[in-house]
Amino acid sequence: MSTPYQQEFEVRWADLDPNGHMRHTAYMDCAAQARVGFLNADGFTLERFRALGIGPVLFREEAQYLHEVRANEHLCVTTEIAGLSPNRKHWRIRHRIFKADGELACVVNVQGAWLDLKARKIVPPPAELMQVMEKVPRTQDFAEFEPRKPA
C-alpha cells in the first residue's frame, strides 16, 4: 500500500471553541482542504474543474473525535480512498487527523460524487480525473459500493 496524501495544518485561534479545544467544524475544514490539496497536486484546481464543467459534491460527512486538540498544535491530515462505485461516479474518502506526536485525534469519513455543473446531475469523472482517483492510496478496508437510493 502506498503512502496516503498528507497535508500539514496549525490550529489557529479561530479554530477553537469556548472550551479551548478545536471546534468540530474546524476538523471538517482541515479535511476539506486536504481533499482539495490532493486534487490540486494532480492539476485539478478550481479553474480546471470549471473548465471541465464538473465538481465534487458531498452527500455525507461524519467525524469520530478521539483526542483533544488545542491552540497552536500542528496536525497532519491524511487522505485515502475508502470506496468507489463501479462506474466511479461516487466515492468515499477517509481523512485521519494526527497530532504532532503521532496520536490519532480524529477520523473524518465523507461520501460524495462528481456533479455536472451545467446539467446538475451526477456523472462519471473524465478519464484524466478517473486516473487521479485510481492512483490515490486506498484504505485497508477499501470496497466498491453501490450508492443507496433515497427512500
Residue 49 CA neighbour count, 13 Å, CB half: 15
Q: Would 58 be classed as within a structural domain?
A: yes
Is residue 65 situated within a structural domain?
yes
Q: What is the CATH number of the domain that holds 48?
A: 3.10.129.10
The x, y and z cell numbers of residue 39, run together, are 486534487
Quote the CA–CA distance of 96 and 14 in Å, as a whole number: 21
| Residues 111 and 37: beta-carbon distance below 8 Å | no
Does residue 150 form part of some domain?
no
pLDDT for res 37: 94
Could you tell me which residues come within 8 angstroms of residue 8 by beta carbon, excluding any fewer than 6 positions away?
A: 74, 75, 76, 77
Average pLDDT, the chain: 94
Q: Whose grid coordinates read 458531498?
A: 58
Q: What is the pLDDT of residues 30-64, one digit of tens each?
A: 999 999 999 999 999 999 999 999 999 999 999 99
Q: How far is Cα 143 from Cα 141, in angstroms, rounded to an integer?
A: 6
151 in a domain, yes or no? no
In this prediction the pTM is 0.93
